[in-house]
Structure 1
Amino acid sequence: MISLYRCDQYEEGRVMESLRQAIAALGGWEAYLTPQDTVLLKLNLVMNKRPEAAATTHPVFVKALIRLLQEYGCRVVIGDSPGGLFNVTALGRIYRGTGIESIAEETGAILNHNTGSMDVQNPDGQVMKSLTMTAMLRDVDKVISVSKLKTHGMMTFTGAVKNMFGVIPGTMKAEYHVRMPQADDFADALLDICHAAAPVLSFMDGIIGMEGNGPTGGRPRAVGAVLASSNPYQLDLAACSLIGLSMEQVPTLRRAYARGWIPSSADELEWSGDPREEFYVGDFKLPDHIESDLIGKNLPSFLAKPVNALLRPKVTFHHDICVGCGACAANCPAKVITMKDHRPYADYSSCIRCYCCQELCPKNAVSVRESRLFKLVRRW
């Protein structure tokens, strides 16, 4: 079941009412929680950006969920493990900058500061049979995913499933990128992680999403949607259908379909709430380079790899707006970025095209550009 309700602005009363309707359509809190449960709201706090940038779960959305859970009698913990360092100081900066700290103060919700890790066996995983996950999961009874509707440079779309990548401790995420540089392999890892984290509910902030060069460098785009489901894989399929994304364009959807976890089309989902055709955004912009990653997807593997290697885009560093913080180099999974005179340079021959440098740049000084060869192919 997919709950879809209209909400056009971040006004607390309106957001709360849309969320109240969404959870009621799914059977109410009692179908998933019991009073006195300690519940983790696993947010998308990818980096320290203000709410109006549309890169992170909006604090008003979070506040409304906290109030509803507290009404039911739950104790609420708010948390995430963003990219980069995962320590109390780094978390504090992100909680403050994204507006989440003030929401915790207003509501009495608990900000997670447990930066420990734990080893988890995942026998049902396809590529990840064991995982290292954040110890904050051990502090709670249930997990709820609270994602943001956004495009993504590597994975095309980031929503409920990829949000759960944030249960992998900070810099350890780099290891997963290096081990699985291909999008479909990384998608399988994301599915395994989401399955292991086992969110009982997933909510998506689609009131204002992000289009273009997401997940942090794109533009805010109004969608006006509050979405919810007990199935994060189906929720992503539903959200993608609202912005014109097909299953073939989104690696996590392709792999979820291959596992039999989602139907072939959002038309086969069960929907509740407002008519979904009222939300459709047909010109939702994708990352600039995304088409080039799809050229070789139907070619035999021995051809697809060299073709994609020639056509795939590369990152470009804009030294004129770079502030020399070094976040790109520090968080490069493949360690191919070096700082020279406080400016980044990359060894493109070893770049795995994860685009973490673009994702974590605080000044949007990293872009991903199509290759010259791809531009010629597209014109032809």
Structure 2
Amino acid sequence: MEKVSIAKCNDYDSKHVYEAVSKCIELLGGMSRFVEPGMRVLLKCNLLMRKKPEEAATTHPEVAAAVARLVKEAGGIPVIADSPGGLFTERALKGVYRVCGMEEVAARDGIELNYNVEEITVSHPEGKIIKSLTVIKALEEADAVISIAKLKTHGMALYTGAVKNLFGVIPGTTKAEYHLRMKKIKDFSDMLVDICTYVKPVLSVMDAVVGMEGQGPSAGDPRKIGAILASESPYALDVASVSMVGISPEKVCTIQRAKERGLCSSLSEVNLAGDSLEELKIHDFKIPSHKHVGFIEQYFGGDSPIARFINNKFGPRPVFIHDGCVGCRDCEKNCPPKAISMVNGKPVVDLKECIRCYCCQELCPQKTVHIKRNWLFKTFK
């Protein structure tokens, strides 16, 4: 039976976080179960973009520091790494590490930060939808991977956690290529599970002290949850995490695609250890509506001409709030199908070309891209 450990943690005080992370990992048998002396351990954090820790868009640095400390105590060499959205350059990494707080804790605790921006193509014959991957070279140089995710909502995937966190091993703008190749949410979710089965993290940790609700994964609102969770199984960790914030696991496509492969169990089949999930459960966590996805696929077929027409006319769409836009062009540069153009210094989207990946919303530093959902789909269950 898959096991998920849970520990209450009310704030990001370094002592409190270390105690909660230690408790979670001890309940799983201790860090020495996962890390041997001399092992180089890649700590795959969620460092989506340059966001301050209090904005709750990225893994909090104190959670990363606590995991790194435990890796060191087990004799391992921790390396914090991620490939944020946009260009994968040393300059981009430096900016993200600095703003996200990783630079500070790394200097304080003597933790290595990855600046290797090389990429490598690897074979993955066991993959269902992708048989080869382009990944950051730092992944291949590591002896083990620990995923340290942030619990957040997501405009396209509904939820981003342990499994989707590993999309960050795909370098920079290559992510856009993957979005373009896997336009359907089911295909994209299968691709995420393929990446997870390739990476095979030895341990997954969830930063749920403060999560993000609403317009996640970057433009939502911080929401205190008050917990750290951990598991050997990233799939079980996601099942427990979404259940904690009142999201049905059946509504999360990555969970369902993993379940179909026998990688994932229902919550009733997961061994929950530590503090009570029910006591920590949030019943009014704000999540994006995904009713349109099931409606279109059920009645019109996911990629039929009529489905595309309905989706273009009535489906959710990115809306650009020009009053707050600074014309940075991040949305234009990171749009996988190149559906965004700049008109008089402001972004305009061609909805016929838009694939509804919402990378524009995800990577907007000003939070001026919103997802507009049509009233029509609110009437369907």
Q: Do Structure 1 and Structure 2 share a fold, with TM-score over 0.5?
A: yes
Correspondence for 1:123: 125
| Alpha-carbon shift at residue 129 of structure 1 (Å) | 0.6
Correspondence for 1:143: 145
Conserved in 2, the CA contact under 8 Å of 1:249 and 1:294? no
Amino acid at match of 2:153: T
Q: How does 1:1-380 map to 2 (within 5 A)?
A: 1-263=3-265, 265-287=266-288, 289-299=289-299, 301=301, 307-371=310-374, 373-374=376-377, 377=379
Distance 2:281 2:168 in 1: 28
- For structure 1, which segment, 146-155 or 72-81, has the greater mean C-alpha deviation from structure 2 after superposition? 72-81
| Alpha-carbon shift at residue 311 of structure 1 (Å) | 3.6
Distance 1:259 1:324 in 2: 44
Conserved in 2, the CA contact under 8 Å of 1:201 and 1:230? yes
Q: Deviations over 1:170-229 (max 9, x none)?
A: 000001100111111100000001111111100000000000000000001111110000
- For structure 1, which segment, 230-239 or 64-73, has the greater mean C-alpha deviation from structure 2 after superposition? 64-73
| Equivalent residue pairs, number | 376
SS in 1 for 2:66: helix
Q: Deviations over 1:34-58 (max 9, x none)?
A: 0111111000000100000000000
Amino acid at match of 2:373: E
Q: Deviations over 1:293-336 (max 9, x none)?
A: 33234446257666555442111001100000000000000101
SS in 1 for 2:352: helix
Conserved in 1, the CA contact under 8 Å of 2:35 and 2:71? no
| Alpha-carbon shift at residue 27 of structure 1 (Å) | 1.2
| Alpha-carbon shift at residue 337 of structure 1 (Å) | 0.3
Identity between Structure 1 and Structure 2 (%): 47
Distance 2:136 2:173 in 1: 12
Unaligned 5+ runs, structure 2: none
Conserved in 2, the CA contact under 8 Å of 1:81 and 1:170? yes
Distance 2:66 2:142 in 1: 20
SS in 1 for 2:287: coil
Conserved in 1, the CA contact under 8 Å of 2:340 and 2:350? yes
| Alpha-carbon shift at residue 262 of structure 1 (Å) | 1.1
Conserved in 2, the CA contact under 8 Å of 1:76 and 1:110? yes
Conserved in 1, the CA contact under 8 Å of 2:312 and 2:351? no
Q: Deviations over 1:5-35 (max 9, x none)?
A: 1111101111111111111111112222101
Amino acid at match of 1:275: S
Distance 2:262 2:308 in 1: 26
Q: Deviations over 1:127-168 (max 9, x none)?
A: 011111100112221110000000000000000000000000
SS in 2 for 1:293: helix
SS in 1 for 2:10: coil
SS in 1 for 2:65: helix
Distance 1:209 1:75 in 2: 28
| Alpha-carbon shift at residue 372 of structure 1 (Å) | 5.1
Conserved in 2, the CA contact under 8 Å of 1:295 and 1:308? no
Distance 2:249 2:236 in 1: 11
Distance 1:102 1:350 in 2: 42
Distance 1:196 1:255 in 2: 15
